[in-house]
Structure 1
Amino acid sequence: TLRYSPTDFADIKTLAASFETDAGPRDSVYHLHPQDHDRIEKQHWYELVCRATEITIEELVESRQEARRSFCSTPLSLNGYLVVLVVQLAAAPYDAYYTLPGKANANRPASLPHAAVLEFLHECTRALREADTADNEQPVLDRDYNEVLRGAGRRLMLRISPGSAHGLYDACLGIAALRHEGGEGQGTMILARRQHAAIVPVLTLEAPVPLRDHRSIRKLLELTEGRTGLVSDASHVFGLGYIVEEDDPKYEPLATVQFTNHYGWELRHGGHTLMRVVSNTPRLPQSKVQADNFARVAHQVFPNLNDDEVAYLWELALEASAQSHGTMLCISTGAKAEAERLRRQCFRVVPRVMTTPVLRQASSIDGAVLVEPDGTCYAIGVILDGQATEKGDSSRGARYNSAVRYTSSSPYPCLAVVVSEDGWIDLLPSTMHT
């Protein structure tokens, strides 16, 4: 069924035309080249139509009490129509993430989800524009979603860069990819214009180092510790400094890049994590598994479990999520049979009820810990198998993808808690039983 009808948007052009009264001095500006003037006038009209569409949809959402956030693309002229693409997201999860202060727009994303929506709308607009000329055998909207996320990451970094300097995202990738004397790159880089009032200088370089000199920046990161970080305007590094305390009149929330490990870094602002980048792929900041989310998924997979049994499994999942090196807890109604089937690729154990201290020890080796929903453990160090599936993700590691294959093809109801070495935590229920 259609959520909205054409009559809901019948007055879009009239509303857009009413905004012309707010044009200000634009009417007194004429560009020397006629084509430039026509192009800018058309672009201005498209912006008004986009604004009118956004207002109309917001009014519809509010009148129907829909908990949604709506985003519109710039109109595209197609077969005599102005086509505006609209993406709507559930308000609660979207609003749960920290957003940058200030007004957000198509050139100033407020968060990684917002930047991802803008990048997706851009791709959809391109796909519509190229639909008539594209090869029919090749899908027009064929950009990998990880590429869309990378584009979103670049948009967000451009927004947060002092002076809107380009290249910050790729520079951080290059720095994080390097090691110094065999060690992983860890340290902080503060993003601010030179001589920012909220930064106390500790050490100033006589000759600023270009950010494109990844090896030098990687070496300088060794100087950072605690609050003290490299100070950069996204083009050069000027030295070391730290941000003043929050109660200082000069304080201002500034963006920082925290290099966490090899190929890993985080973008933060005012103490909030905006995005985590692992192996060149931006991710949303993710906390430990939430109890209510785990209980909801567990009840879906194992409907016969009572609340106490789910709480017990939650304790095991929480212990698994605390492992820094990565691990996997696989809860399956067929754990006993699976331990027998996979006996060549696991260590079978005498059945015993799993406890959190034992799980901490059992998960210290590679492979999954295989338990029944009642907590009885039958095997450790299990190398899971399964059929290849389109749900795999080449940007994730072998642990995650093996769990996806296993849960997608398991004949038994099962739930895998996957903790990756990069800190990413996933709950993967068996697809045949949810």
Structure 2
Amino acid sequence: MIDQKHASFIRRCVSDIINGLTDGLTHFSGPSRAAVIFAPQPDSPMLLCDPQNLLKGHEPIFKSLYVDNQQWRVNDKVPRDRKQFADILPIKDPGLAGLLSNGGYSGSVFFQQWFTEHHPDLCSIGPTECWLEHAAWRFSHDMANDRDLYTGISGYFLREYATHAVRDHIIDQMNLLLGWDSPVRIFPVLDAVLMISETREEGSWPEGRLLVVDPCMLDRLDFLVRFQEGIRPQLINYKHVRKLLLTVERSGRHLVSDGRSILGICGDSLPPFSLCADFRGRHGFLKVNRNKVCSFADGRFSSTTYQAKLVYLEELLLETAMDRSDSYFLFKIVISLVHHSQQRKHGCTVVLDLNERPVAISGQNLSPPLDLRKPYMLKMAKSLAKVDGALHIGSDMHLHGFACLLDGRSFPGEDLARGARYNSALRFTAEHAHIIVVVVSSDRPVSVIHQGVDVHGSCTWDHKGGCVYNLDRLDYWVGI
């Protein structure tokens, strides 16, 4: 039986960690929630803390796994000593749709499992899983120390954990492919990548690829140029490295480093393990063996792919009365226009007019409209997207106009922090039915706007940061 003081201590531990997770993951991946289920002892009831209703809708699965079935209480491998908090026996991810999880058994917390959202545009789930793994470790640590030694610092650790999460995932991959004795230190490499990414050369942002390779793998590289050993530029000298990136800019070549200095220039063939920083101007990507780990921009790491997946647009089109094949083809047309605009680094606006008869919009009206199902017409539309104003596309998959001006009256849903293109789309969709507007900004993610609301930007949960949350019994929560 848990006394009231100890129950209050547990609530505070859980709340601090959830607040830290929520804040940290929101900066890394966009608006994020966190939740946990746990049982302090083998005979304790399973408890739940879900302040933003992240787990809502999954009640039947939790009932099946942890209420109807009590097998989770039986685990002979769990340490009996509560001070063995660092030895966490991992548990299987239940595979809940739209969620990522991590947890396990330990001496201080018999069972725990932490959850967060699986955003659709993650470069990799690896850093987020490492984040959740560290949350489990912090909770075990706090519970082992008990309230007399509790510092309340776990939430702050998790709030600032982005670089550590990226590093932990890279180390996990390195250990799998190289073993445990690699001399490459990842933190200095990550610091150098961020510093180089913010360094302009004659006004231009860095482009090119920096390859970090374990010294034992150097003989597997096809070196085109090798620098003399005594005068090799140090990786920490980021201004010098930024200049050397010019030698591999917009090519298939790599600048090669062993994590300490720049060794030379190699071709595109890679060893069994490599870490690549792919600089693409204002942003870039970290890759392990060509697989994206995360992106970086503005001096920090994030999870975004910088590639519009437009899942929200796809969902809106599926909810319309359009034929499935037509909605799919219209979706592919928009995807093609958006990706082209992003690659050329110019903004554009696409108006999807799903009315039976397209609405009248001021602009360059086309007669006859261009059939975007024809590749050469779609290519023409990509060129027209460069002109200020919006493309006007009907449900017939024809381009009815370009350089269109979207007007509308001001309303409370506007975002004054955004530009005219974005707010014009908000106003226009607020006043016209069956209109979806896709806004591509040169410096922001793609926005899908419908009925005066940014579908991606709208938040369906109330962030309650800084609170101490209540704990619910899982069997009551699932409706027993």
Shorter-chain TM-score category?
Answer: 0.5 to 0.7
Following the alignment from structure 1 to structure 2, what is the Cα–Cα distance between the partners of residues 403 and 203? Answer: 54
Query: In the aligned structure 2, how far is the partner of 1:73 from the partner of 1:122?
Result: 11
| Alpha-carbon distance in structure 1 between the residues aligned to 2:421 and 2:124 | 23
Counterpart of 1:32 in structure 2 is: none
Equivalent position SS for 2:261: strand
TM (normalized to structure 1)? Answer: 0.62
Question: How far did residue 189 of structure 1 move?
Answer: 0.9
For 1:270-285, list aligned pairs within 5 A.
Answer: 270-279=289-298, 280-285=300-305
Q: How much has 1:432 moved relative to structure 2? A: 7.2
Distance in 1 separating the partners of 2:262 and 2:290: 22
Q: Say if 2:363 is the partner of 1:348.
A: yes
Q: Whole-Å Cα distance in 2 between the matches of residues 348 and 126 of structure 1? A: 58
Q: Using a 3 Å threshold, how does the CA distance of structure 1 residues 170 and 9 change in structure 2: closer, same or farther? A: farther
The CA RMSD over aligned residues, in Å, is 5.0
SS in 1 for 2:184: helix
Partners of 2:365 and 2:172 lie apart in 1 by 57
TM-score for the superposition, normalised by structure 2: 0.57
Query: 1:218 offset after TM fit, Å?
Result: 0.6
Pick the aligned partner of 2:220 from 181, 198, 201. Answer: 198
Q: Shift of residue 364 of structure 1?
A: 0.5
Give the CA deviation at 1:190: 0.9
Q: Paired residue for 2:403, among 380, 386, 390?
A: 380
Q: 2:429·2:437 contact (CA, 8 Å) conserved in 1?
A: no
1:172 to partner: Cα distance: 1.2
After TM superposition, list the pairs within 5 Å mapping 1:55-94 onto structure 2. Answer: 57=92, 61=94, 70-72=101-103, 82=110, 84-87=112-115
Give 1:287 deviation, angstroms.
5.7
Equivalent residue in structure 1 for 2:317, among 272, 295, 298? 298
Deviation per CA, 1:285-335, whole angstroms, max 9, x where unpaired? 466759x996654232x3245634652563354234322223221213479
TM-superposed CA distance for 1:44, in Å, is 3.5
The change in CA–CA distance for 1:169 and 1:281 in structure 2 (over 3 A counts) is same
* Alignment CA distance shift 1:431-1:405 (3 Å): closer
Superposition map of 1:31-430 within 5 A:
42=82, 44=84, 47-48=87-88, 50-51=89-90, 54=91, 57=92, 61=94, 70-72=101-103, 82=110, 84-87=112-115, 112-120=124-132, 122=134, 152-157=165-170, 163-194=184-215, 196-201=218-223, 202-205=225-228, 206-224=230-248, 226-234=251-259, 236-242=260-266, 245=269, 251-262=271-282, 264-279=283-298, 280-285=300-305, 297-300=316-319, 302-305=320-323, 307-308=325-326, 311-312=329-330, 314-323=332-341, 324-326=344-346, 327-333=348-354, 339=361, 348-350=363-365, 352=367, 353-354=369-370, 355=372, 356-374=378-396, 375=398, 377=400, 380=403, 382=405, 402=423, 405=426, 409=430, 412-421=433-442, 430=451
Indicate the SS of the match to 1:412: coil
Number of equivalenced pairs: 359
1:378-407 deviation per Cα after TM superposition (whole angstroms, max 9, x unaligned): 5625467876769x8x9xx85996588569
C-alpha deviation, 1:115, in angstroms: 1.2
Q: Which has the higher contact order (CA 8 A, sep 6+)?
A: 2
Is the Cα–Cα contact under 8 Å of residues 179 and 185 in structure 1 kept in the other structure?
yes
Alpha carbons of 1:171 and 1:321: their partners in 2 closer, same or farther (altered >3 Å)? same
Identity %: 11
